[in-house]
Structure 1
Amino acid sequence: INASSKCTIYRYLVDHCTLQSYLTKRIPLQYKKLICKLRLSSHCLTIETGRYNNVPLQRRLCPLCTLDIEDEYHFILKCPYYCNLREKFLKKFYYIKPSVFKLILLLSTQNVKDLCNLGKYIKNAFVIRKLHV
């Protein structure tokens, strides 16, 4: 994993192989699955789909805003198309002056409410993405 260009977020989230605590929390299964997919880079963002189609990294742009590479960081904390969702579901701390460090904190939170809200955000953002792509 450390030598791969894939799963960059996962490397920061997991330091040893064990059941991740968010999976044991009392949150809806659909939210656990969505969070898991983002953490493992098992999703349809262009950072991954571009990899399958041999698109150069610099050309794997967000199909909605075309401002940045569409990776987990951009999808969750930066893309202007999801601004309203961010304000509705995420704490300001994460999206005001966003950083990869804050993304790691959000994806590794132990707070059940924050995990549920993250799941809701991901679910709704994927719906918006699907409608516009």
Structure 2
Amino acid sequence: MMYNYLKLDDETQIAYSDPQEDGTVRIAVERPVDGGFDAAFCSLPLCQWHDTEGFTREELNFLTDIVRNNAPLIYRLSREAGKGSLHFANQVVTPPPTPTVALRVAENGPKGYIRPRYADRSATVPRT
């Protein structure tokens, strides 16, 4: 199962999977375009892109930075999501999804600076 992680200003959506048996987490990136989507896929921890369509090398490098910089949080959310489904008498009960995090690139910040903006206002920004 895939879960939304963040949405960039250009409507690019990044999603992550439940943990896989080999310990990896699948990452899917989609961007709407006329008549469909640009798409790219990778797995953490290697973050090597495959099945890419419509993204330039520069855009993939930018996405790699985002995914690698957020890998610890993505792993944690993936583990929590993987534990989240409970099975009762052939019915699956799933807790509400984690809040979607939307990122926007600050126009006046340094190149590549990203400021998190949480879609769910009740969520707090973790302090590091």
Taking structure 2 as the reference length, the TM-score comes to: 0.31
Instruction: Report which of the two has the higher share of helix.
Output: 1
Q: Which has the higher contact order (CA 8 A, sep 6+)?
A: 1
Taking structure 1 as the reference length, the TM-score comes to: 0.30
